[in-house]
Structure 1
Amino acid sequence: MRSLRVVCSSREIDLAAEDIRGVTCVFHSSRFSPSSKMAQMVRCRVGLFSIKFANQTVSRLFVPVKYQRSWFHTSWILDVKGKELLMPSLSPTMESGTIVKWLKKEGDNIQAGDAVADIQTDKAVVTMEMDDEGILAKIIVTEGTKDIKVGTLIALTVEEGQDWKSVELPSDAATLVSSASGTTEAAPSSTPAISSEPPPPGQQNIAMPALSPTMTSGTIVKWLKKEGDEIEPGDALADIQTDKAVMSFELDEEAILAKILIPEGSQVEVGQLIAITMEKGSDWKTAVVPAVTKAVTAPTSEPTVSKPSPSTTAAPAGPQPPPSGQVYGLAVKRLLEEYGLSSGSIKGTGRPNRLLKSDVLAHIEANHLQKVTQIIVPVLEESKKTPGTGSTSSPIIKPAGKGSPYIDIEVSNIRAVIAKRLGESKANIPHSYATVDVQIDKLNELRSKLKTDNVNVSVNDLITKAVAHALLECPDVNSLYQNGQVIRAQKVDISVAVSTPTGLITPIVFDTPSKSLADIASNIRDLAGRAREGKLKPQEFQGGSFTISNLGMFGIKEFSAIINPPQTAILAVGGGRVELGPSLTKSTRMTATLSYDARAIDEDQAAEFLTVLRSILENPVALAVAKSRALRHRRE
């Protein structure tokens, strides 16, 4: 071979024989017919370029993107074709995640089983591990980027021995990188100034923890330590309002609180940095705030009063004629209200005696009318504040000539989570209902006898005990529905709905059948009291196999409750009422409604459960068996 012509990117390069030590040749199968011997792609390498081309700055030949798919990407001339690393699904319900921290950096070797990144799912922070070995070539999505959908490209890897610096980026990589950087650049004015300096030895970054499985964000109610204070293992650092209650965040190691990054009352997402600690004995003032932070929703203390739009003017001056007897629809009525018009001022062209929308629009255009001005005034009175939710004051929008103000009330974290979970339950679970009337005269007699023995129990305590025995006889109702299958619970753990100032919460009476009436009453009183104070532990309200919701003390006769997933049933209990029987004798009756998941419980199973429950409540002999045990326990 005396010479060679190389065609690349629409350029032709003539190389003489003396200038060539070797070259890599690539042929694509589409250039030849299927019957040709060259129908397969051929690749050969013969040495290196000559010394004549060794001093040139261009070490690789770059091919346009639209032609790169026709070439080998493992060539030493072209960019390396990387292996895509996608956002994994780390939980059955995960739809998107947040990369909390990359455990590997670009250029690091990865072995099978190595942890690559910590990812915040919809449940907790989970470590993503690699199944194959390689090199982390390019990080597409940076730390702190939230709401990354499952299946999104987050990084590129190459095989060992390949040039990871020359990895080929996808066409939409720039968009991903820019969106990730835009998320991290917006820092609130209330946070300290960030620095790009490396952190000093002993610095530990504290992130917002997930204090419940369903927690996605929390509000820092109060910092229990201040900057410079020493922290011992087990010390509470801050009170955090989760989606369930206000809980104390404790540290397991000793340290010094160096910097508080998030002020009290701010709503913070799980995984975001909230504080920095230093080792004991070090200078805590040398702590460096990381450059990667996420936006914070800070509370607003003053209402913002917006000015009226300059395009709006007042309604036409002068009294309007009284409304006529013309007939018109909702669209016409809305136009008349928006422009402050009366139907008597416009003659309708519709038949019979109908005012059309086109008539009103023509009248507005002919008289050059504008919409009625909205007068915006600030709220003078503030509602009570919930810890960590900030001020609830907001502007009132009052139309001119009308005196019906509306106040926007801020939704707390707990209320928002309750609304979301109940909406999902009602939308995804096929609710079925069964109702039964129970005569509770003997139940009230049993309660009176227990009071004479200094055993104070409520009707709800007796119902809880009766439901526990009924679930033992009807185990199909004591079940959960998860991952498309019915799971029968091994123990009867009854959740009791308790109303708190921040919303409804369901503390659990564990292993209810094994407890006496006195134990159940004492347990429910303790759980309800601590629930209203926000001092319940996560394990005390997460779980349960069956729920009871009682509104009888509020005078509610009958109602239907929404199932608390993954449970499959909930019992709604109404209040007792006095009725006359067939023989004109008075009796006290109570209505109980069972809401059950039709996917897990059949109609006959629900009917059997209610039948057993009614027989126990109307003849509460089994409930009185634990009476002697309770008294013996009291004497001991």
Structure 2
Amino acid sequence: MAHIIRSKLMLLSLKYANRVASRMFVPLKYQRLCFHTSRILDVKGKELLMPSLSPTMETGTIVKWFKKEGDSINPGDAIADIQTDKAIVTMEFDDEGVLAKIIVPEGTKDVKVGTLIALTVEADEDWKTVEMPDRPVETPPAAAAAAAPSETSPAVTKVEAPPPGQQYIPMPALSPTMTTGTIVKWLKQEGDEIQPGDALADIQTDKAIMTFELEEEGVLAKILVPEGSEVQIGQLIAVTVEKGMDWKQAVIPTSTKPDAAVAPSSTQPTAPIDARPSSSGQVYGLAVRRLLEEYGLNSDSIKGTGRTNRLLKSDVLAYIQAHNVNKVAPKSASAPAKTDKAPSPSPTKTPVPPGQPALYKDIEVSNIRAIIAKRLCESKRTIPHSYAVIDITIDKLIELRKNLKTDDINVSINDFVIKAVAHALLECPDINALYENGQVVRVPKVDVCVAVAIPAGLIAPIIFDTATKSLADISKNIRELAEKAKNGQLKPYEFQGGTFSISNLGMFGIKEFSAIINPPQTAILAVGSGREELDSSLAKVTKMTVKLSYDRRAIDEDQAANFLAIVRAMLEDPAFLIAGKTQASRYKRDAY
């Protein structure tokens, strides 16, 4: 019995000791004096994940961190600016603590929602000893590429660089959309010498059959791809060596796949940058044009032997040899006549220096623009768009707007359109609906989105409860939202949601256009500019065209027509819009 009691006491003491050890607290001053690896002394950090700041957000970009490691954080403090698929949104912290570790640095792009971006600790904990989480931290693509630029996949077989004096020729991209090409005909054989500008092969792209020219001299040592073969862009197709070398001893690469292709040197072969047709329809490149100019020849007098009626360099050389043609002396530039006023140089007539690329600038597509393009493609691909167009006479609207302006009430035509649309949505609840999960959802509130152009793309802030607001309130509201949108200060709730959208390009002189539906909304109204026309009595009137794009799954043709008829009735007799009536009392269905 005594032995059993001692055993139970031993178990209880061990259990109590483990519990105490797991809750042991060591003061900060003693923690810093210790060299340890025990997690008893490490601080367990709170994970800060990439938030979902919009319903359609999948990735985000850390634009700027407002806090540094070791900074205190109070509830409501701004932590960072994050660029979503809609706008740049400020992420706020709802608790107090200390920012212990920034895991994703500024400028990192395409950070997936839910990725660990930072760690925080309590205010009284040592942030320097924060413990990294046990789970693997997902590294964003940009950060991973920067951290390990030399890492390669073990499945990819890389070939060594070609020996000195030797060059590997990959399949070139002869059109922007080309992914593969077919070798139609080799214009050089193994052992043939190549001069700058010589045509190497005819290649069939996704557009046409084009001649591939080399801009470096050498000898064609080995053809790796036979005629008629279809190969991917970047796959090795030939090997060249320098003149004077034994081309039969050229080193042949063991792999010709695109992943194995080594980046070419500065003497990389390029596609022809210029191909001009002659009056007889023959096409020739830069090398042929230089040769024709040097010998003063006309391309129409030489018959081309290349495919697709192409004049080759060998054709010109054969003609020169057969007719014993000599080079012509270059024309000396005559001195310009003196004038009182020096002519200004024309940028269109200034030639690009030979050997230098044309001037251009690469503009990186922002995350917002990329997501907008993706959403628009999804909308056009998944939503059956139908369209209805109507003309509205706006002479009374213009006159009423002028009268209001004399009373210092500045409202735009767009404000009248927004007000009329809001009231029309009350009378046509079928239009004020969303399409979600395969069903139509009617929304009792009318929240109209108005498209606003910003430098980063396009955004549609929301005017909430639009039907209950006056023209002056709508005008003020839209100006404030547009200003905030251009400055990147919109809150997520100010542009996420809405029941209907309006896109107005009338101020840019656009007469008519088709807008793309913003899902899950089921309709969007495109508003054009006003224009003067003659009516049936030859009186001058001002017309404005509006086009409704609607989801045919949720809206029928007669519902769309009814909605547009109400909008037209309100805008053609807009007096009641000032009074704020919610019913189009002057709308006469029989008239339309």
TM-score strictly above 0.5? yes
TM-score, with normalisation over the residues of structure 2?
Answer: 0.58
Cα deviation, residue 215, structure 1: 1.3
CA contact (8 A) 2:97 2:120 kept: yes
Equivalent residues in 2 for 1:370-519 (5 A)?
A: 404-519=358-473
Identify unmatched segments of 5+ residues in structure 1: 1-194, 302-308, 367-397, 628-636
Specify the alignment match of 1:295 in structure 2: 140
* Shift in CA distance, 346/261, structure 1 to aligned 2, threshold 3 Å: farther
One-letter amino acid of the structure 2 residue matched with residue 496 of structure 1: V
Cα deviation, residue 448, structure 1: 2.4
Is residue 232 from structure 1 mapped to residue 74 from structure 2 by the alignment?
A: yes
One-letter amino acid of the structure 2 residue matched with residue 295 of structure 1: P
1:217 to 30, 48, 59: 59
One-letter amino acid of the structure 2 residue matched with residue 216 of structure 1: E
* Shift in CA distance, 561/356, structure 1 to aligned 2, threshold 3 Å: same
CA distance in 2: counterparts of 1:261 and 1:299, whole angstroms: 12
CA distance in 1: counterparts of 2:431 and 2:85, whole angstroms: 28
Secondary structure class of the residue paired with 1:222: strand
Cα deviation, residue 407, structure 1: 2.5
Specify the alignment match of 1:286 in structure 2: 129
Greater relative contact order structure (CA < 8 Å, 6+ sep) = 2
Specify the alignment match of 1:580 in structure 2: 534
CA distance in 2: counterparts of 1:416 and 1:311, whole angstroms: 36
CA distance in 2: counterparts of 1:515 and 1:473, whole angstroms: 16
One-letter amino acid of the structure 1 residue matched with residue 43 of structure 2: P
1:247 to 82, 86, 89: 89
Secondary structure class of the residue paired with 1:282: coil
Is residue 546 from structure 1 mapped to residue 500 from structure 2 by the alignment?
A: yes
Specify the alignment match of 2:474 in structure 1: 520
One-letter amino acid of the structure 2 residue matched with residue 491 of structure 1: K
Specify the alignment match of 2:570 in structure 1: 616
Specify the alignment match of 1:598 in structure 2: 552
Specify the alignment match of 1:625 in structure 2: 579
Cα deviation, residue 410, structure 1: 0.8
Cα deviation, residue 623, structure 1: 0.2
CA distance in 1: counterparts of 2:287 and 2:574, whole angstroms: 65
1:459-488 deviation line (CA, Å, top 9, x unaligned): 111110001111122222222222222222
* Shift in CA distance, 345/454, structure 1 to aligned 2, threshold 3 Å: same
One-letter amino acid of the structure 1 residue matched with residue 559 of structure 2: Q
Specify the alignment match of 1:315 in structure 2: 197
Cα deviation, residue 196, structure 1: 10
1:502-544 deviation line (CA, Å, top 9, x unaligned): 1111111112111111111111111111111111111111111
1:182-214 deviation line (CA, Å, top 9, x unaligned): xxxxxxxxxxxxx99859234212221111121
State the 4+ residue runs in structure 1 displaced beyond 4 angstroms: 195-199, 298-301, 309-313, 320-328, 336-350, 354-357, 359-364, 398-403
Cα deviation, residue 424, structure 1: 0.8
Supply the RMSD in Å over aligned alpha carbons. 3.7
TM-score, with normalisation over the residues of structure 1?
Answer: 0.55
Secondary structure class of the residue paired with 1:239: strand
Cα deviation, residue 298, structure 1: 5.2
Secondary structure class of the residue paired with 1:414: helix
Secondary structure class of the residue paired with 2:43: coil
1:323-370 deviation line (CA, Å, top 9, x unaligned): 666656xxx87xx579989877985569xxx8568x979989x9xxxx
* Shift in CA distance, 610/321, structure 1 to aligned 2, threshold 3 Å: closer
* Shift in CA distance, 255/296, structure 1 to aligned 2, threshold 3 Å: farther
Cα deviation, residue 500, structure 1: 0.9
Cα deviation, residue 626, structure 1: 3.0
Cα deviation, residue 399, structure 1: 11
CA contact (8 A) 2:97 2:123 kept: yes
CA distance in 2: counterparts of 1:196 and 1:571, whole angstroms: 64
1:13-43 deviation line (CA, Å, top 9, x unaligned): xxxxxxxxxxxxxxxxxxxxxxxxxxxxxxx
1:79-129 deviation line (CA, Å, top 9, x unaligned): xxxxxxxxxxxxxxxxxxxxxxxxxxxxxxxxxxxxxxxxxxxxxxxxxxx
Secondary structure class of the residue paired with 2:51: coil
CA distance in 2: counterparts of 1:446 and 1:282, whole angstroms: 67
* Shift in CA distance, 196/608, structure 1 to aligned 2, threshold 3 Å: farther
Secondary structure class of the residue paired with 1:575: strand
CA contact (8 A) 1:327 1:355 kept: no
Secondary structure class of the residue paired with 1:471: helix
One-letter amino acid of the structure 1 residue matched with residue 49 of structure 2: A
One-letter amino acid of the structure 2 residue matched with residue 288 of structure 1: E
One-letter amino acid of the structure 1 residue matched with residue 140 of structure 2: A
CA contact (8 A) 1:561 1:572 kept: yes
1:434-469 deviation line (CA, Å, top 9, x unaligned): 111111111122222333343321111111000111
* Shift in CA distance, 597/322, structure 1 to aligned 2, threshold 3 Å: closer
* Shift in CA distance, 511/322, structure 1 to aligned 2, threshold 3 Å: closer
One-letter amino acid of the structure 2 residue matched with residue 263 of structure 1: P
Cα deviation, residue 231, structure 1: 0.8
Secondary structure class of the residue paired with 1:297: helix
CA distance in 2: counterparts of 1:289 and 1:257, whole angstroms: 13
CA distance in 1: counterparts of 2:356 and 2:289, whole angstroms: 11
One-letter amino acid of the structure 1 residue matched with residue 82 of structure 2: I
Is residue 567 from structure 1 mapped to residue 518 from structure 2 by the alignment?
A: no
CA contact (8 A) 1:218 1:241 kept: yes
1:581-618 deviation line (CA, Å, top 9, x unaligned): 34343222111111111222222221111111111100
Is residue 274 from structure 1 mapped to residue 155 from structure 2 by the alignment?
A: no
* Shift in CA distance, 322/408, structure 1 to aligned 2, threshold 3 Å: closer
CA contact (8 A) 1:349 1:355 kept: no
CA distance in 2: counterparts of 1:551 and 1:524, whole angstroms: 15
Greater Cα offset, 502-511 or 196-205: 196-205
Secondary structure class of the residue paired with 2:131: coil
Secondary structure class of the residue paired with 1:275: strand
* Shift in CA distance, 564/197, structure 1 to aligned 2, threshold 3 Å: farther
Secondary structure class of the residue paired with 1:576: strand
Cα deviation, residue 220, structure 1: 1.5
CA distance in 2: counterparts of 1:322 and 1:622, whole angstroms: 65
Cα deviation, residue 228, structure 1: 1.2
CA contact (8 A) 2:304 2:315 kept: no
* Shift in CA distance, 322/540, structure 1 to aligned 2, threshold 3 Å: closer
CA distance in 2: counterparts of 1:573 and 1:240, whole angstroms: 33
1:362-387 deviation line (CA, Å, top 9, x unaligned): 989x9xxxxxxxxxxxxxxxxxxxxx
1:296-328 deviation line (CA, Å, top 9, x unaligned): 425999xxxxxxx9557832599x999666656
CA contact (8 A) 1:237 1:250 kept: yes
CA distance in 2: counterparts of 1:474 and 1:243, whole angstroms: 31
Secondary structure class of the residue paired with 1:614: helix
* Shift in CA distance, 348/474, structure 1 to aligned 2, threshold 3 Å: same
* Shift in CA distance, 257/615, structure 1 to aligned 2, threshold 3 Å: same
CA distance in 2: counterparts of 1:526 and 1:574, whole angstroms: 23
CA distance in 2: counterparts of 1:321 and 1:533, whole angstroms: 47
Specify the alignment match of 1:126 in structure 2: none
Secondary structure class of the residue paired with 1:470: helix
Secondary structure class of the residue paired with 1:574: strand
CA contact (8 A) 2:71 2:99 kept: yes
CA distance in 2: counterparts of 1:321 and 1:574, whole angstroms: 42
* Shift in CA distance, 321/423, structure 1 to aligned 2, threshold 3 Å: closer
One-letter amino acid of the structure 2 residue matched with residue 543 of structure 1: G
CA distance in 2: counterparts of 1:558 and 1:255, whole angstroms: 55
